[in-house]
Amino acid sequence: MTELLQWARHHWHRLVNGRTQDEDERPYSYSSLLVCGGKSSQTPKPSAKHRVVIPHLPCFKDEYEKFSGTYVNNRIRTTKYTLLNFVPRNLFEQFHRAANLYFLFLVVLNWVPLVEAFQKEITMLPLVVVLTIIAIKDGLEDYRKYKIDKQINNLITKVYSRKEKKYIDCCWKTVTVGDFIRLSCNEIIPADMVLLFSTDPDGICHIETSGLDGESNLKQRQVVRGYAEQDSEVDPEKFSSRIECESPNNDLSRFRGFLEHPNKERVGLSKENLLLRGCTIRNTEAVVGIVVYAGHETKAMLNNSGPRYKRSKLERRANTDVLWCVLLLVVMCLTGALGHGIWLSRYENMVFFNIPEPDGRVISPVLTGFYVFWTMIILLQVLIPISLYVSIEIVKLGQIYFIQSDVDFYNEKMDSTIQCRALNITEDLGQIQYLFSDKTGTLTENKMVFRRCSVAGFDYCHEENAKRLESYQDTVFEEDEYTDTLSGSLSNMAKPRTHNCRTVHRGPLGSKSSTHLSGSTPALGSGDRAAEVPHSRQAAFSSPIETDVVPDTRLLDKFSQITPQLFSPLDGNLQSPPLEILYILDFFIALAICNTVVVSAPNRPRQKIGLSSLSGMPIKSLEEIKNIFQKLSVRRSSSPSLAGGKDPTSGAPCAFVSRISFFGRTKLSPPMEDKSSQMGESPQASNSACCIETEAQNSATGLTIGSAEALDGPPPLASNLCYEAESPDEAALVYAARAYHCTLQSRNPEQVTVDFAALGSLTFQLLHILPFDSVRKRMSVVVRHPLSKQVVVYTKGADSVIMELLSVASPDGTNVEKQQMIIREKTQSHLDEYARQGLRTLCIAMKVMSDAEYTEWLRNHFLAETSIDHREELLVESAMRLENKLTLLGATGIEDRLQEGVPETIEALHKAGIKIWMLTGDKQETAVNIAYACKLLEPDDKLFILDTQSKGACEMLMSAILKELQKRTQASLEPASLRKAGMPPDPQHSGRAGLVITGKTLEFALQESLQRQFLELTAWCQAVVCCRATPLQKSEVVKLVRNHLHVMTLAIGDGANDVSMIQVADIGIGVSGQEGMQAVMASDFAISQFRHLSKLLLVHGHWCYTRLSNMILYFFYKNVAYVNLLFWYQFFCGFSGTSMTDYWVLIFFNLLFTSVPPIIYGVLEKDVSAETLLQLPELYQSGQQSEAYLPLTFWITLLDAFYQSLVCFFVPYFTYQGSDIDIFTFGNPLNTAALFIILLHLVIESKSLTWIHMLVMVGSILSYFFFALAFGALCVTCNPPSNPYWIMQKHMLDPVFYLVCVLTTCIALLPRFLYRVLQGSMFPSPILRAKYFDRLPPEERAEALKNWRGTAKINQVASKDASQSSAKSGRLKPGPSAALAMKSATACDIEQENLPPCETVLDLGYSEPCTSKMTEPPAC
């Protein structure tokens, strides 16, 4: 039965995909599953969450059909519809909307003869028009996707054919799991495949992932261990292994699995062995891989979720008001039914009014009233605006078009502008109340500049380097900006907008492709010219301000003491070098090699430099090492992410992690040959004055120096080397090391070569790289020194983590331990000083391991690497076993400058009433310094710092701070309630306050029992800074504020660690900066700089909200106003459900004549100019308070509509009362007057009228008259017994008609017009006052704005004085319940005396101190 089901499933896939049966299409065979040689397969059944990949080869045919043959192929289909299912599926989806279902119900109801109100075709028209418009839009969008899918599916790649025994050209759509794929340079990867061969001698494949995550930096992928040592290309016919991996998932940063050989030996697989679909092969001539995921199961397709859909706050409000309109409709229909029943009861005996049925039966008034209820539902259906939702979609598309067309959002350097990825929440941009921002790369440039360092307890301030940075002029960047602009354009070209089908002709192995596959790069011709394109871009993080580091003279003098003679034996005795010199040496070695930087050649960027492979390493040592670990089947690498691929924090080298082999792959040569090859190949060989090989070991540090060459200056090629870094932190440290002549020269999976000043070239054998992740907050590199053969671990990471991993030293220990304690204390003080200056800090440490220790660790680490389940947790535990008992070498301070315009933007957003929280993973002092620099915190702010170690202490400290804040307000002021916590306390009663909370304390504050208290505390603060926050804590903070305070939130960030925060907020904004495009891809809007946020919110957000709010209200108004004309008429026709207007005019009135003007209004309306909105951010608060669309505004609009409908009906009624006109002649002036009233109402409400507005208005009026005249002339018997024949023609010759229309329009609009006039003159709102400024001449306008700001400033000063006097009278003092000692120290004191911020110490009976550092930073 199982085999039968497998057979049916397989052939169903073949039938759906339209595949033919030939040799290459793998016909199914349900015979016994046999492997080559006729032996029965011993393959165990995989668990449901694992995937088994069997190669597509003849010897695996049966097993292939069981596993790989049942997986989906590589054909993709992103379309939603086909020709057969388009109509039913589109209708099914459209009828998910309640409004469409409502109108469908009315259409069906109108087919019931007893309740029929209109002709059946007329009732269907509005619904058909709306459904058709949306269907056409959906169809065009789907057809565009279909064409793109067709191009992608028909791309050509090389697939191994078991029939022809060679690689043949196949379309992407025919690729299946288990196929062998061969790719050349600049080709796009068609499916997720495990890398089995690379022409690179080190088994490396360079890929560009810009098509996947937008990052232009090259990543490196590694051939599976055991296949990289092959001298020739892998032969698919000889491949006899199977792959077991995890089931398809969308995690781009994780891949878990293993490759099992026939002898049951397993080799672990990680993401560094996986080539992802959509990436492009770079700088590698050819690669071969086996497909593991295809089509919609690839990680790229699983991440392709399309545009984000969110429901805006305004749309939710409109849906509520639609329900009110439904209730109003029901009331009106009940009134009609009741009135008709009463009317019939009065004339029950009059046959003329109560016509019996054909059988003579008379229907009772109650039943007739019931029928009339449904007839009235059909008649008054327009009360529910069916076209509202279509109009909202059109308006939002227009708003997005104008946002994306704004040239102020264009970044010339990055050649990018704003991206609107969410199409339906533009109006939410005008209602933001809370803004949550990342720091690094969002508020700062993420251009890391090395500023100072501490080595062995000595601080080196690099004064000359600081002066260089201060004197750095913008003119220096002109040439670079021009280069970056060009490269940015090329980068844009390289991004796959659409995929074009190109045939790739490849020559023999090693030759360059003659034609390159477009989609990642344009068609650029052939040969070398095409190869130049990827290299034309400047490497990231390599601007002069980052690369040109001026060494500190003191440190350079000490550094110059490192000479070959220092480590040479004198009279046969090796003198131990000074400990400080050893620390300096290891410190710079760690800066140079503890990273994942790719070294590029001077003349060929992004091509690595290869030096001699095992320079100076004796054969005997390598053979011994190889024999020791050969039994362990050591694989080459560690896991790509020790934290399960969680979002790495800024600066994390997460995408490129070298895969390291413990023993080299190169052919072994005798020692003399190796030495001579080193001398011949080393760039310094010709300049070598002498070559001294010696071996020195220090018992405390295990330092090894070897292969020294005396050099008087930096290496000849050092200044030309190009460093390709994943993060700016890494690049800054490598450039700093290069400034001290410690130059990183080459890197490959086996070794890294550093040219160390006078010591010459040092080649370190790489054993493992433990990458940075957000859990460990550090990275480590395990190397073996070239001469001592000792295993050394170099670690760099956050000081809070590294300090806890240092070896414990006791005061009674050895001299080295005592020195370590002193170094640790001094380094900590230096770190605090760096943080107060706003520098990013890192600690550098090392550890020496014996071979036995490393062997034991490696054995456990190998088990973790080859596991599929819980691999990340096991790898983290393994890393923690390695990274302990470290020796502290020093620390670094890196400056990350603020972006241009950040202080001004934050100041404007504060004035706009937006509360800003900064969520960062940096140190507290660094975060506070940046907060002051960007004006998030003001010098006069009262600063409270929450830093506790227990939940109880956190609760008591928050209570104490709340009491302090409440005493600073007037006694009469009612404390802010939780529901109103979104609005800060009145500044007239309370001065500004800021809150700083650490990650540990934030963990307590986010617990359910403290959430309310925490939110109440933050409501009193104008700014909140959360430091040492993890990515998960960031998202939890945003979720807490949004859900509990019911406020509109916005989160902005630039890195992968901000993705969760961005997705949780009402609006997520990604910054396309230095940390890749993960945040952009997860965001609703993407900008290139933080300063663009001011115009996006204050201008476009305000406009979008105001436009859409007024447009929705106008739709409700015009529908109610017009429908009420029909309702008033029912009082004069016995509530019979008849109409005084022809049905066609009735339908087209809302569907055509009055539908376009509000759409134009919603797209083009500008109540205030952009310049004024930017100069007066206070105007944004109207959107926060939803002033344009309040419940009261909605009901006032409906009342006005009722009044206007009364005037529009009864003025013509009393005019024609007593005449002999027919009902259509009576209805014509009603329709005409209603048209003028509704259109002129929009003119009154408009704040800006352009020629487009007037053109649409005139067009609507002309179209109405044209239709009425044509309809009256042609429709002789359209609606018997009455018909509209020649009615409009007669009225246009009647002066009374014009008088009625003018009088009705004036009386109806007079209250609205008078209200707007009085509002603008007697009690103008801030918006109206600002609108008045726009009409003033430039000089008067500038003076008026100055007076506005002066008035606001006076009010601010007055409120500040009031708050200060309030604070003096109510200052918190020590009491029996809480002994609270206040200490005051200013920021100037801190700067001058290097003292830490003063603390407020709570002695509440807890064992640990609970500190609330209340400092008042002065203006210094």
Catalytic residues: 438
DSSP 162: T
Secondary structure in 3-state letters for 1119-1161? HHHHHHHHHHHHCCCCCCCCCCCCHHHHHHHHHHHCCHHHHHH
Q: Are 516 and 524 in contact (CB under 8 A)?
A: yes
Distances, alpha carbon 1143 to alpha carbons 380, 1224, 1260, 1279, 1284, in Å: 12, 11, 19, 9, 10
Distance CA 476, CA 719 (A): 18
Q: How many CA atoms lie within 13 A of 1389 on its CB side?
A: 11
Collapsing DSSP to helix, strand or coil, 743 comes out as strand
Q: Are 276 and 297 in contact (CB under 8 A)?
A: no
**Tokens (6 digits) for 29:** 């065979």
Closest CA to 890 of 834, 837, 815, 838: 834
Residue type, 317: R
DSSP 1168: S
CA torsion sign for 769, 770, 772, 773 is positive
Query: What DSSP string describes 1170-1211?
Result: HHHHHH-GGGGHHHHTTTTS-HHHHHHHHHHHHHHHHHHHHH
Residue 525: beta bridge partners? none
Distance CA 779, CA 764 (A): 17
Q: Is 223 left (phi over 0), alpha (psi -120 to 50) or beta?
A: beta
Distance CA 655, CA 644 (A): 13
Strand order in the sheet with 274-275: 166-171, 156-161, 180-184, 286-293, 192-198, 274-275
Distance CA 575, CA 595 (A): 32
Q: Are 94 and 61 in contact (CB under 8 A)?
A: no
* Cis bond before residue 1281 (omega within 30° of 0): yes
Q: Are 806 and 799 in contact (CB under 8 A)?
A: no
* Kind and range of the H or E run holding 902: helix 902-911
- Tokens 């440039």 locate to 445
* Kind and range of the H or E run holding 1002: helix 999-1005
Burial class of 150 by CB neighbour count within 10 A (0 to 12, 13 to 18, 19+): middle
Distance CA 1184, CA 1106 (A): 11
Q: How many residues does the chain have?
A: 1420
Query: What DSSP string describes 1268-1284?
Result: HHHHHHH-SSSSTT---
Angle at 981 between CA 980 and CA 982, to 5 degrees: 90
Number of Cβ atoms within 10 Å of the Cβ of 525:
12
Q: How far is CA 330 from the centre of its chain?
A: 45
Q: What is the CA radius of gyration of the chain?
A: 38
